[in-house]
Amino acid sequence: MRTFIVGFVCLLGGLASAASLLPDIGTLVGPVGDDFPRHLRADGRTVYSISTEPAAAMSGVRLSVEDDAIVVDTSDAPPALRKTTTRIVTISQTEFPEACYALRATVQGPKGAVATLYFEGTTLAGKHYYNSTNQRLTGKRQEITHYYSLAPRLKYLHMRLDYIGRGEFRIYAADLAPIAIRRKDPAVAAARVPQLLFQAGFDGTATATAQGNPEPLASRGLAFGPGVKGQALKSTLAAGTLLQYALPGNLVPECGTISLWFRPSWTRPADAKGFHHLFAMERPKGSRLGSGSAFLWCHDDVIRADTSDLRDSYQRVRSVEPSRWQHIAMTWDEDGARVYYNGQAATAMPGGDKYSPLSTHADKQIIFRDSQLKTFFIGNLRGGQQCEGLIDDVRVYSAPLSSEQVLAVAREIRYFDVAPSDRYFTAKGGANDRTMQFTITPRQPNPMRFTWEVLAADGRVVAASEKAIAVPSAVDKPIAQTLSLKALLPGRYEIRVTESKCKASALQEESASFWIFDARNPETSPGAQLRTVPLATIRPNLAMTAEQFLHLGPVRLGKLDGRGYLEAGDAAGNRFVVRLDLPDAQGVYLLEWDYPDDKVRTVDILAQSARIQNSEYELQTGYITGDEYANSGQMLTQKCVYYARSTDAALIFTTAREGAPAAVAEIRVSRIVDGLPPQGQVTASTGSVPRRDIGVYYEDPALLYDFGCYASAMPGL
């Protein structure tokens, strides 16, 4: 048995409170005479242990210490090895009063393998307590850091590090430290008065009016075009536009407001692909998460505001209008961000359940107190991801503006509004669908004169005001207009209003879009019966080729009531996939499968393109048998409607729970013709068959999230 010499490196540079989780002595020992140790000891106690999943895969896994690292070698482990788990059990602390703690490990492992770093322990109530982060390994020495708001008191806590993959894994050091975070002081927040720190008008120059340095630190590829006030900055990928300013004196990282006007160069939403930064604080080296680096940008044409808190929360709101000036503002403080569009608070679509309003977790907005940010960018990020358009009148305030203050800034330029009563109508509908109302609302107390016209998607004028609308002085009083829809075919239309008297700013035109839908829906059928054309019947079996059938984990044959079926392995995640050859990539199909109700089964079922290009969530379902539902001993049938995206599709059956294997006997594929009939009425069973309650689960949570269509994907209405 070797002498185990361990060296230590403090991972939390500059934090005196960082505590090494590996012993600060020079020797670790394993069990005497054990060529395959499963734990290491120091000072008579176990400090490091190793196990595998499944446990039988431990044979062939070697634990040793060489030079300055503990080494785990899984090269010779059995094929059944799924995961190797290591634990460092040296945390004696049971109370955690700080808001955030950092667990860091310096590791090295085979390129492409995955390491997962855990806080793991037991609550005071005796429940398993854990939280983790994972990172793909590079083949070189690297740091993994996991930040978490620990429970104030725990019965027990240790560090866990899992390896998924084969080869040699090394850990050089591990540390635990409390992390100071920004905290909102109500008294300080109440005393904040927004002050204008920075304003860039871009009238032929990038020099700003600023409390800090008004000159750019770096600039390249600058151009100017017509703005809402004189000229505006033009930032494009083609020009490689770079514009960077010093942050001190010009911006307060903890809180503030960014206000700007933006006119994208794209003329169609479909042309807005990519990342388009309007305003961005610099990104620190490594991860930006926890840094508080705020940025306002467009993901394709959708506005987003990020605060780079530890959970990477953001506000995702609406799309920008192509080729139109619009006011966009972002306010932020220790509680998060808010976005405004044309002076109005925009409805946010939070990106994920980890910072959902339904989340009960305490650390929704954690930003490190000692984060150091020194610069910011306008219209780009580090000379890339340009906004692809014009930006004007950029303002930075020292604190969040109120809703009224943001609206006042927007109305300095946007001096009237246009608002349709509705944006969606159906051709040849009822009487109410044959006309629409919209309003024109002056926002400044000056005499104005308006005319309007309606443009089709091809630019044709299809309707117009009969005469000019004169308004003597009626601020905030809507002027109602009525438009007949009788002659308009299905499609997208734009109401364009022009003001020709006041001319309070360069924005003398405002517009609003609306859509008319065809009354015919090819996906619905007037008949009461579902009409289908059978395409294929598939009985999965072991004789199928790799082009037809693949599996992960073992598969086996079974039989129930004289019918054979194919079954996946018992381990969670064991699965098999059957390929479906469909005639139409945009078709609607009925998928049916018979499955055996003969034992405990918990099964996830997913249909998607075999060569998936983007995320697909058209069909995710499953079934449960056994447990509280007595097995019937019969084959049962499940039917689903599938909206395809490809002619090459895959149907996947997965064992979702240990010891509850997936199985299927027969799959039938039919094409639905003439659309779907009206929804049928189902009467609950009153006989001896027990009622089954069905729960419908939407991830994130996101009810109705995937049941609409972006305007950019609505051709041929």
Where residue 687 falls among pLDDT bands split at 50, 70, 90? low
CATH 2.60.40.2550 fits 416-517, yes or no: yes
DSSP designation for 334: T
Q: What is the pLDDT of residue 689?
A: 62
What sign for the dihedral angle of Cα 65, 68, 70, 72? negative
Q: What is the pLDDT of residue 366?
A: 77
Which SS3 state, helix, strand or coil, does residue 336 take? strand
Where residue 413 falls among pLDDT bands split at 50, 70, 90? very high
Q: What is the pTM of this model?
A: 0.72
Q: What is the pLDDT of residue 1?
A: 28
- Check whether 428 has a pLDDT greater than 90: no
Residue 439 · residue 479 · CB < 8 Å: yes
Q: What is the pLDDT of residue 699?
A: 55
Residue 368 · residue 292 · CB < 8 Å: yes
- Give the Cα separation of 33 and 712 in Å (integer): 69
> 509-559 pLDDT, tens per residue?
999 989 888 877 777 887 888 999 999 999 999 999 999 999 999 999 999
Q: Lowest mean pLDDT: which of 54-68, 217-231, 339-353, 400-414?
A: 339-353
Is there a common fold for 416-517 and 531-673? no
Q: CATH for 531-673?
A: 2.60.120.260
Q: Lowest mean pLDDT: which of 131-140, 174-183, 271-280?
A: 174-183
Please provide the average confidence, as pLDDT, over all residues in the chain.
87
Q: What is the pLDDT of residue 577?
A: 97
Residue 113 · residue 169 · CB < 8 Å: yes
Q: So what CATH class is 191-411? A: mainly beta
Where residue 611 falls among pLDDT bands split at 50, 70, 90? confident
Task: Enumerate the domain spans of the chain.
Answer: 19-178, 191-411, 416-517, 531-673
- Give the Cα separation of 352 and 311 in Å (integer): 10
Q: Lowest mean pLDDT: which of 277-291, 341-355, 412-426, 513-527?
A: 341-355
Q: What is the pLDDT of residue 179?
A: 87
Residue 629 · residue 692 · CB < 8 Å: yes
For 473-501, what is the mean pLDDT? 90
- Check whether 373 has a pLDDT greater than 70: yes
User: In Å, how far are 205, 224, 273, 545 from 243, measured between CA atoms?
Assistant: 11, 13, 22, 57
Range picked from 178-182, 393-397, 611-615, 623-627 for highest mean pLDDT: 393-397
Beta-bridge partners for 259:
329, 395
Longest alpha-carbon distance in the chain = 100
Classify domain 19-178 by CATH architecture: Sandwich (2.60)
Residue 637 · residue 584 · CB < 8 Å: no
Where residue 336 falls among pLDDT bands split at 50, 70, 90? confident
> 239-248 pLDDT, tens per residue?
999 999 999 9
678 vs 535: which has the higher pLDDT: 535
Radius of gyration, alpha carbons of the chain? 31
